[in-house]
Structure 1
Amino acid sequence: MPVTVSPAVFEGFIRDIFEAVGVSAEDAAAAAPSFVWASLRGVDSHGVSRVPRYVEMFEKGVANPTPNLTVDDSAPAVSVIDADFAPGPVALTRAVEIAVAKAKTQGAAVVSVRNTVHTGAIGYYVSLVAEQGLVGVGIAAGSPMMSYEGAVGASVATSPLAIAVPGTGAKPPVVLDMASSLIAMGKIAQAKRTGTPLPEGSATTADGTPTTDPELAKVPTPLGGAKGSGLSLMFELLTSVLVAAPILTPYHGGQKKHRQNATLIVLDPAAFGGAEAFAEGVDATVDTIHDLPKADGVERILVPGERSAATAAGRSADGIPVGDKLWTELVEVAGSLGVTVPEVG
């Protein structure tokens, strides 16, 4: 029977697991909230279900539990972080701190992160930016998992894009978080766990045959065909090639080591005509969208992030639901590491 776990308890449980595999207390505390954030918002494919995968990456030497992050402040509004194969939440949380500080001084900032592993829910990082009244844009690239329009097999990454825009605080920030594929790999894994068929046209087998069976699905298809694969290619150029850390060319040349790169862009509305006027304008624009004529059968028109924010409100109060299979896996991982499993409902 599924269990429910309070966000605070889950965060502490994840911190304990990360520390048990050698991650510092500081880095574990930076990483844990990202998983809880995703699960709170119903993005379970990038939430606590990822914790066993991270443990596996640590144990196999794919992820570095004790990374030496280096920061090159190459220009007043630009930084490049070499993550030394740190977990994505550790490296990207640090990137947020740097980007926000620079943007508050310069009006805008770009921080690139190279050589990390699994970025996680990129919407989390831009949401951290929006919480401080700034605009956050995040993109990421990784190893090929998605087909490229006209090619067979895994050719490019399911590179995500996230944008968070704050308003006055009367409404949740507008948060767009999307992959360049029709379905993320994490959601395929989630479908396997639950036995749920995939949407038509969202994935293929390794040889390019379309399938809705999550057990057979190996390659997600690009969102909008050439549009999705084009976005993924451009994100590779902007997050990887730009900082001399290409992924696609070495990968297709036989170097298949797992790594990811990401870029955060942060804008301070105060530098573009005034933060207060901008926030009020965001709220007014959201109201305009809400008030549009509704199509038949539509009860409410939503803006990006609104449905997830409502889910987060409910799960914050009632706890995060966790299926039997995942909870058993988390308990087994904790047991193997000597971590105490919290009491749950």
Structure 2
Amino acid sequence: MTATKVLVPADDLRTFAAALLEKGGLSSEHARTTADVFVWAALRGVDSHGIARVPAYLELLAKGVANASPQITVESSTPAAAVLDADRAPGPVALTAAAQEAVTRARATGIAAVGVRRTVHTGAIGYYVSKIAEQGLVGIGFVSGMPNMGYTGVKGPAVATSPLAIAVPADSHAPLLLDMATATIALGKIRQAKATGTPLPENAAATADGTPTTDPDQAVMPLPLGGAKGSGMSLAFELLTSVLVGAPIFSAFHSDDPQGRKHRQNALLIALDPAAFGDPHTFTTAVDATLTTLKHLPPADGAPGVFYPGERSAEVAVTRTAKGIPVAPKVWRELTESAAKFGITPPGGA
């Protein structure tokens, strides 16, 4: 067993992940798209949504939960809005297409929204809004999924840890990228704490009946960020995504219909073209000035500095691009085992 993390160049890891996903059933194009989302997250230090997701996606494909050959369609009755029916395509495939659709429409209309219906695990939502920002537009995204988080005043899991992401382009600074869930703590963090025996923060997780606990062995679900604020946001995102595109998750999950608990996710991506509001260069220059002003504010005692959302993960990406992406021993073992099964040669690592 590998005792330490394996360092793998980003391009090699992307090629390796794409090869595995293609063997898992995805087309070459869809495999590359999905691998790119994973490597993007890994480069930025978001390892929970990085290359560690490949084995899970292979399982989703093998079980038929994710559709390896989706018939993706786009429905629209107005230039500024559309609904993309993913036909259970993996989230990276569906949301990448939706992001480009939103950009194309926003170029013509100034603002565009694209809902995504019936996808499977969206991956790092920050990726899709970042792709919008790379083209000079503001990207906003919401996701709703299967209820796995508490709701203030409710016993047991009630709503999803639905994320929100916003990306704003700048000139000289890395784009602002706010990417957050509505939960106080990620499920992956609870699993990690359980594996290491580390106590959880106060009011971050709960037992099956909703009782807050710091014991990772008793915790089965995260609690909403800010209590009623986080749970309210999650419910609002369900309305803005699932209900809006005619594919409710929350009400079906809590009904007697067994199909209501079949894994699925929905999303809404919005693109705003600064050119529709004024001069786009004036906008990005003002974004830079705002971020610079923030960074020159006096840091609190003991603080390492003042940072805006997405700044530190962008710095991690620079380092990992130069030095390689560290892959945890367990993940590397799973990847190489899958590679052996498919007859793929893993990258050499360093």
Counterpart residue number, 1:20: 23
8 Å Cα contact 1:115/1:261 also seen in 2: yes
**Counterpart among 286, 300, 320 of residue 281 in structure 1:** 286
8 Å Cα contact 1:80/1:114 also seen in 2: yes
Q: Secondary structure at the match of 2:185?
A: coil
Counterpart residue number, 1:127: 130
Deviation at 1:187, TM superposition (A): 3.3
Deviation at 1:196, TM superposition (A): 4.9
Indicate yes or no: 2:323 matched with 1:323: no
Q: Which runs of 5+ in 2 are unaligned?
A: none
Deviation at 1:97, TM superposition (A): 1.0
Counterpart residue number, 1:69: 72
Compare 189-198 and 69-78 and name the one that shifted more. 189-198
Matched residues, number: 344
Counterpart residue number, 1:334: 339
Q: Secondary structure at the match of 1:162?
A: strand
1:27-73, Cα deviation, whole Å (9 max, x unpaired): 11111110011111111111111111111111111111111101112
Counterpart residue number, 1:38: 41
Counterpart residue number, 2:156: 153
Q: Secondary structure at the match of 1:48?
A: coil
Q: Secondary structure at the match of 2:89?
A: strand
CA RMSD of aligned residues (A): 1.4
Indicate yes or no: 2:230 matched with 1:228: yes
Distance 1:118 1:192, change over 3 A: farther
Distance 1:134 1:190, change over 3 A: farther
Q: Which residue identity lines up with residue 335 of structure 1 in the other structure?
A: A
**Counterpart among 88, 91, 95 of residue 91 in structure 2:** 88
Distance 1:34 1:232, change over 3 A: same
> 1:269-308 counterparts in 2 under 5 A?
269-308=274-313
Counterpart residue number, 2:262: 257
Deviation at 1:217, TM superposition (A): 2.5
CA distance in 2 between counterparts of 1:88 and 1:62 reads 12
CA distance in 2 between counterparts of 1:287 and 1:326 reads 39
CA distance in 2 between counterparts of 1:109 and 1:65 reads 28
1:140-184, Cα deviation, whole Å (9 max, x unpaired): 00000110011121110000000000011x110000000000112
Deviation at 1:294, TM superposition (A): 1.8
Distance 1:152 1:282, change over 3 A: same
Q: Secondary structure at the match of 2:12?
A: helix
8 Å Cα contact 1:20/1:339 also seen in 2: no
8 Å Cα contact 2:193/2:200 also seen in 1: yes
Identity of aligned residues (%): 58
CA distance in 2 between counterparts of 1:82 and 1:194 reads 41
Q: Secondary structure at the match of 2:68?
A: coil
Counterpart residue number, 1:311: 316
Calculate the TM-score normalised by the size of structure 2.
Answer: 0.95
1:194-224, Cα deviation, whole Å (9 max, x unpaired): 6654333211122223334444431110000
Calculate the TM-score normalised by the size of structure 1.
Answer: 0.96
Compare 145-154 and 133-142 and name the one that shifted more. 145-154
Counterpart residue number, 1:165: 168
Compare 170-179 and 68-77 and name the one that shifted more. 68-77
Q: Which residue identity lines up with residue 105 of structure 2 in the other structure?
A: K
Q: Which residue identity lines up with residue 203 of structure 2 in the other structure?
A: G
Q: Which residue identity lines up with residue 274 of structure 1 in the other structure?
A: D
Compare 325-334 and 4-13 and name the one that shifted more. 325-334
8 Å Cα contact 1:167/1:283 also seen in 2: yes
Deviation at 1:189, TM superposition (A): 4.0
Q: Which residue identity lines up with residue 294 of structure 2 in the other structure?
A: I
Q: Which residue identity lines up with residue 43 of structure 2 in the other structure?
A: L
CA distance in 1 between counterparts of 2:190 and 2:304 reads 29
